[in-house]
Amino acid sequence: MPGNLSHWHLWPRPIGNPAPADKPNEADLSTHRTLKPRGRKVRILATLGPASNTPEMIEKLARAGADAFRLNMSHGTHADHAPVVVAIRALEKTLGRPMTIVADLQGPKLRVGTFASGKVMLETGADFRLDQDKTPGDATRVNLPHREIFEALKPGARLLLDDGKIVLRVKAIHADHAETTVEVGGALSDRKGLNVPDVVVPMAALTAKDRTDLAFALEQGVDWVALSFVQRPEDVAEARRLIEGRAAVLAKIEKPAALDRLEEIVELADAVMVARGDLGVELPPEAVPPAQKRIVEVARRAGRPVVVATQMLESMITAPTPTRAEVSDVGTAIYDGADAVMLSAESAAGAWPVESVAMMDRIAMSVEADPGYHARLHFTETKADATAADAISAAAREIAHTLGARAIATFTASGSTARRVARERPGVPLLVMTPSMTTARRLGLLWGAHAVHTRDVASFEEMVAKAKRMALRHNLAAGDQRLVIVAGVPFKTPGSTNVLHVVRLTGEELK
C-alpha cells in the first residue's frame, strides 16, 4: 500500500451530515440470514399505506423487490406511522439487510374554502373572486385563506383549481382579494387544491404540521426526509438547519419555480425527486417529459441520487397488470439512469401492492439486461472533476469493465465514496461496507449499492480481507474472480477517497 497517500477534499459531500458512529458492539447484519442481492441496479421505493402497512405485507414487498419504504405524512397519524417504523426495523434483522425509510412531508398545500351549497359550477368566461372573507362561497366568489398569495400574484397569472381541472386568469389584485376570469370552467367543491404555477409564493417551506411531523419522523429515526413543494434553495437550507444531520434531505421538484433554480437546489439537497403529480398540474403535460430528463441529468452530474415518481404503474391500483405505456414509462426512467423509481397509491392503497413491486422489479431486470442499456445510460456525460477522488472512481468503472471484475467494493463511513462510484454507473454491483448503520440505511436510494453494515477496520489489509469475505458471503463474486476495491486512507477521514486496489478471490476467504 502506498505510504504517501494524500487527503483530498470530499465531493460530493456525505449524504446528510457525517453519520454518528454506531455502538462498537452493534450486531453485524451480515451474520444474519441474508436476502439475496438484487439482480438490478435501480432501486424501488414503495409507499406504505392501508393496503401494505402490516409487518407481513412489508416483508412481502421487500422480498418482491422493494429497497426503501415511503411514509406519506399527508395521510395517517403519528400513531399509525410509529408501528410501521418498528416493523421495518425488525425486518432488517429478518432479512439481514439495512432498510431505508423516507418520511414525505405534506408541505404547504394551498386550498380554497367552502361553499354554501358544497359545490358550485364555474362557467367559462365568468368573473370569479378569491378573497379573505370566511363566509361560505358561491358561483361568484370563495375564501382563499392564504394572504401570501395575494402578495405574490400579478395580473395575467394563472390559478389552477382541483388539479388543474379549472383554470382562472387574474385580472386585478388587491390587498385582500383577487379578481379573476374563468378560462376553463367546471364543478368546484369544498377545499379543493389550488396551484399557482406562474409566481413564487412567499410561503414558509415547512408548515406547522410539517414541523410537527418532522420532529416525529426524526424521533423515529427515519433515514430520509422528503420536502414537498420546494420553490427555491432557501427552502432546502431551512430544512437542513432544522434536521441538523439527523436525516438526509430529499427535495421534491414539483413547482415550475424550482426548475428555474434547479442547479442550486440540487447542490443543497442530498437527493431529488421528479414529483410528477403537481409538476404535471402546473406545467403543460407536454413539458413534463423534458423536465424529467433535465432533472435526472442535473442530479446525475451533481452526483445526487434522483427518484422518479407518480403514476408509474397507476393502473395497477385496480388491475393486476399495467398498461404498456406505464411499462415504457418505468423503462424510460431506468434507461435515463434514475437511482430509484417509486410506487405511490399502487403499493399504499391499491388492490395489488406486492404484484406492483414485483412488476417494477421485472421491468428493471429486463431493461438492465438489454445489451444497449449501458450505452443509453452513459448518454448523460458525468465528467469527473479534476480531483484524485473523481479520477479514481472513474478509473474503477473502466478497470472493472476491462478486467471483467465481478463487483466494485468500497469501505465508507459517510457514504461519499459509494456515491462517487455510483455516479459513474459501473456495469457491476457496488458492494458498500460501512461501520455506520445510519449510512447503510441511507444508501437504499443509491443506484447499484448493496449496503452491508459491518464492523470497523483498523488497516488497509483488514479492509481488503473484509471486502473479499463480504463479496463471497453476499454472492457478489466467487472464487478466482476479480474485485475492484475503492477506499480512502487514512480511515475515518471523510473525503479521502484515494486508493484503488484489484484483488483476485480464491474462495478460501470464508474458511
* pLDDT digits (tens), the chain, 511 positions: 333 333 323 333 455 554 444 443 334 444 445 578 888 999 999 999 999 999 999 999 999 999 999 999 999 999 999 999 999 999 999 999 999 999 999 999 899 999 999 999 999 999 999 999 999 999 999 999 988 899 899 999 999 999 899 999 999 999 899 999 999 999 999 999 999 999 888 888 899 999 999 999 999 999 999 999 999 999 999 999 999 999 999 999 999 999 999 999 999 999 999 999 999 999 999 999 999 999 999 999 999 999 999 999 999 999 999 999 999 999 999 999 999 999 999 999 999 999 999 999 999 999 999 999 999 998 887 877 778 888 999 999 999 999 999 999 999 999 998 999 999 999 999 999 999 999 999 999 999 999 999 999 888 899 999 999 999 999 999 988 999 999 887 776 666 688 899 999 986 766 5
- For residues 365 and 354, is the Cβ–Cβ distance under 8 A? no
Q: What pTM was computed for the model?
A: 0.89
Q: Is 444 helix (H, G, I), strand (E, B) or coil?
A: helix
CATH of 383-504, one of 3.30.230.10, 3.40.1380.20, 3.40.50.150, 2.40.70.10: 3.40.1380.20
Instruction: Note whether 227 and 241 are within 8 A (CB).
Output: no
Dihedral sign from CA coordinates of 387, 389, 391, 394? negative
SS3 per residue for 91-127: HHHHHCCCCEEEEECCCCCCECCCECCCEEEECCCCE
Decide the pairing of beta strands 186-189 and 194-195. unpaired
- The amino acid at 311: Q
So what CATH class is 119-195?
Answer: mainly beta
> Which residues are known catalytic residues?
70, 111, 252, 310
Among candidates 216, 217, 269, 222, which has minimal Cα distance to 441?
222
Any idea which residue has 379573505 for its cell?
132
Amino acid (one-letter) located at 136: P
* 71 residue type, one letter: L
**Residue-wise burial string across 229-267, b where 16 or more C-beta atoms lie within 10 A, e elsewhere:** bbbbbebbeebbebbeebbbbbbbbbbbbbbebbeebbe
We find that the CATH architecture of domain 43-108+205-371 is Alpha-Beta Barrel (3.20)
pLDDT tens-place string over residues 308-337: 999 999 999 999 999 999 999 999 999 999
What digits encode the pLDDT tens for the residues 332-390? 999 999 999 999 999 999 999 999 999 999 999 999 999 999 999 988 878 777 788 88
Burial of 178 per CB tally in 10 Å (0-12, 13-18, 19+): buried
> Cα–Cα distances in Å, from 232 out to 3, 179, 256, 275?
45, 28, 10, 15
In 3-state terms, what secondary structure has residue 46?
strand
- Residue linked to cell 475515518: 492
Which residues does residue 488 pair with via DSSP β-bridges, in sequence order? 497
Give the helix, strand, coil percentages of the chain, each rounded to 5: 35, 20, 40
Residue extents of the structural domains in the chain: 43-108+205-371, 119-195, 383-504
Q: Can you tell me the distance from the alpha carbon of 206 to that of 60, in angstroms, rounded to the nearest whole number? A: 34
